[in-house]
Structure 1
Amino acid sequence: MNFRRIFLVKCMLLLFPSVKCFNTSWVYRAVNETALLSIAAPLTPGNSYYVIWNKGGQRLVQLRGTNTKYFVNREQCRCAMLRNGTLQIQRLQKEDSGNYTVMVYQDGKLKAEEKTIFFVQEPVPQPILTFRCGKKNVSVKCEAKQKAKDEAFTTELTQPNRKKIQNNSTTLEWHGRNFGMFRCVVKNQVSENMAEKVIECPGKMDFYLILSIAGGAVSFVIFVICLIYCIRRKKAKRREVYEEERAMHTLPVEREKGTRELPQTPSKATPRQLRVQQRPLPPQPQEQPLPPRPQPRPRAQPRTPNLPRERP
């Protein structure tokens, strides 16, 4: 669009070489809207200046102080001059597009001259996004119907990996193997419409999807196995170091215990001991009863001692 503006400016300078352009601007508006074409140059309040708006060399309206003069049918022009010199155009139509020039005079001298390149465009239609699945690829079509003639717009087709842009084309197609979210955008300077859709095709496309998911799952399992192996190996190394340190600390204590305590019999009997226990014991000889032991003779009662007799 910048090249188009430069081209229009060069054409105006070639057509009107004697006119010096003070300022040039580009304005875009949609059909049935209201446009305000303003003046960039500051205006001094008072009756010493007047403003004239022209379209393509034809005078439209003039403002001198507080008096407004129309050179065309006001209803047909649908235009009005505001107090600050701004040109107002209502209920825009395609015919209102063109080159507008405003000239500001003060004290009979040209103070400023400004040009406005005005474009009236229709809103772009709603695009239609369709697709068709093939054996090995998918075809996506972005179509903008009911387009007005000589209407400048841009069509964009966005896919998961790239974007395809084309100017002034009602149909934009793409062929490939990618699937996912597709977006179709049709826009111009005054409006923009969009259609988007998630496109997935069965068969070949599902096979690639399943293959990618399976590859990701296998990679994840391998990662988990490697992680578990590393953790266990690290724990084993720590256990070995701990056992070595423990053995070094307990060796002197066990040596002292070995010198003090006798070796303990094993808790479980050996097969030889079991066989010995299972053998029957030889018959024991019966012991003869011993004769009764002689009882001691009873002791005689003590005799009372004879007391000495008393002399008369």
Structure 2
Amino acid sequence: MSLTCQIFLLIFVFSIQGAAPANDDIVWGTLGQDINLDIPGSQMINIDDIHWEKGKKKVARFQISNKPKNPDEKYNVSMNGTLKIKHLMLEDSDTYKVVIYDKDGKNALEKTFQLKIQEKVSTPNIDWNCINKTLVCKIANGTDPELKLYVNGTSIKPVSSKFSTYRFINKQKILVNCTAENKVSKESDVKMITCSEKGLDLYFIIGVCGGSTIFVIFMVLLIFYINKRKKQNSRRNDEELEIKACRVTTKKRGPKPCQVPGSTPQSPAASQAPPPPSHRPQAPGHRPPPPGHRAQHNQQRKAPPPPATQGYQQKGPPLPRPRVQPKAPRGATGNS
């Protein structure tokens, strides 16, 4: 045999050893539900003993001569060799192998199953926005889902995701069909989308009205603030002008005080001159003199000042001093 043929045979042998067994069947199970692994053609075999293995672990056995021996209640084997797995979980995804022996003890059948678990897809939900001209189809649950959109009967490219987005051009009536499916389930939803050219979105109207109201309130407050500032500045300028005019007038006429609007006016009592000593108010405890003495008191009050006071006030040579008449006694004045 030539060297080329030997190399070819070696490559062929290695490729056969690395390939997966041809008799493996892929079985899809639904999460949370039961499943039966059926053995096709088992009725033609004279069954005596059945072994089921998960990976390298024995999970169930059935013998016709003895009672069924199931290590775990989760697994149950029937007389025809079918394995029933209850309440599937994600951990149940594995390779299952069945071996059937006949009454002679010979290996009559051996088969392998590849069990895969998936969660059912939920019903699609279709949402759309007429302003942005977009529609979205999405699902909440499902393992490895595939979404397919049909717009007015035209198929859109499917996506392997839990949501699909599509942007339409014209605002018109659109018939949308959204289908979600995987290996164990299939759900769909149909909606008629109507976008009116005249109508506006409710949220858009509310947003415009709210924004306009806030803008109007802001402008009113701004105008009020500007007017208030103008009045304050005008009043301040007027006061400064009057102060300057008052200073100029004081320099021209003399040191006469002038009042500035806004300053505290001087009380009239403080601006008047103090009264003469004879007109000062009496003390609270002083009593008025009797009527007999009022005339004499008035005469004394009207009498001219003494010469010393006149000499002090007058300028020039001293005047002759008048005679001083003796005062009459009090009794004589009262009798007269």
Q: 1:181 to 1:13 in 2, by over 3 A?
A: farther
Paired residue for 1:142, among 119, 137, 140?
A: 137
C-alpha contact 1:138 1:177 (8 A) present in aligned 2: yes
Q: 1:84 to 1:162 in 2, by over 3 A?
A: same
Query: 2:16, 2:195 → 1: CA distance?
Result: 54
Matching residue's letter, 1:85: G
Matching residue's letter, 1:14: G
Cα distance, 1:57 vs structure 2: 2.2
Q: 1:35 to 1:161 in 2, by over 3 A?
A: closer
Residue in 1 that maps onto 2:32: 32
Determine helix, strand or coil for the equivalent of 1:95: helix
Residue in 1 that maps onto 2:18: 14
Aligned residues with identical type, % of pairs: 24
Determine helix, strand or coil for the equivalent of 2:126: strand
Cα distance, 1:26 vs structure 2: 2.7
Q: 1:13 to 1:123 in 2, by over 3 A?
A: farther
Matching residue's letter, 2:175: M
Determine helix, strand or coil for the equivalent of 1:166: coil
Cα distance, 1:184 vs structure 2: 1.3
Indicate whether 1:109 and 2:106 are aligned. Answer: yes
Q: 1:61 to 1:163 in 2, by over 3 A?
A: same
Paired residue for 2:145, among 113, 130, 153?
A: 153
Residue in 2 that maps onto 1:235: none
Cα distance, 1:62 vs structure 2: 1.7
Bigger Cα displacement from structure 2, 181-190 vs 138-147 = 138-147
Determine helix, strand or coil for the equivalent of 1:104: strand
Indicate whether 1:175 and 2:179 are aligned. Answer: no
Cα distance, 1:41 vs structure 2: 3.0
Cα distance, 1:69 vs structure 2: 2.7
Higher relative contact order (CA 8 A, sep 6+): 1
Q: 1:115 to 1:127 in 2, by over 3 A?
A: same
Query: 1:162, 1:100 → 2: CA distance?
Result: 43
Matches within 5 A, 1:1-312: 14=18, 23-43=23-43, 49-67=48-66, 68-70=68-70, 72=71, 74-75=72-73, 78-106=74-102, 107-134=104-131, 138-147=133-142, 151-177=143-169, 179-203=173-197
Matching residue's letter, 1:110: N
C-alpha contact 2:119 2:141 (8 A) present in aligned 1: no
Matching residue's letter, 2:40: A
Query: 2:146, 2:16 → 1: CA distance?
Result: 26
Cα distance, 1:166 vs structure 2: 3.1
Determine helix, strand or coil for the equivalent of 2:26: strand
Query: 1:133, 1:87 → 2: CA distance?
Result: 54
Query: 2:45, 2:65 → 1: CA distance?
Result: 10
Q: 1:114 to 1:69 in 2, by over 3 A?
A: same
Q: 1:45 to 1:146 in 2, by over 3 A?
A: closer
Q: 1:177 to 1:60 in 2, by over 3 A?
A: same
Deviation per residue, 1:123-160 (Å, 9 max, x gap)? 212221111124xx72111111245xxx2221111101
Runs of 4+ in structure 1 off by over 4 angstroms are 43-46
Query: 2:125, 2:147 → 1: CA distance?
Result: 12
Q: 1:45 to 1:103 in 2, by over 3 A?
A: closer
Query: 2:182, 2:124 → 1: CA distance?
Result: 13
Determine helix, strand or coil for the equivalent of 2:149: strand
Structure 1 unmatched ranges of 5 or more: 1-10, 206-312
Deviation per residue, 1:178-234 (Å, 9 max, x gap)? 5421011111222222222111222299xxxxxxxxxxxxxxxxxxxxxxxxxxxxx
Query: 1:162, 1:45 → 2: CA distance?
Result: 52
Q: 1:158 to 1:14 in 2, by over 3 A?
A: same
Matching residue's letter, 1:163: S
Q: 1:166 to 1:45 in 2, by over 3 A?
A: closer
Structure 2 unmatched ranges of 5 or more: 1-14, 200-336
Deviation per residue, 1:98-118 (Å, 9 max, x gap)? 221111223333222212222
> What is the RMSD computed on CA atoms of the aligned residues?
2.9
Determine helix, strand or coil for the equivalent of 2:156: strand
C-alpha contact 1:156 1:165 (8 A) present in aligned 2: yes
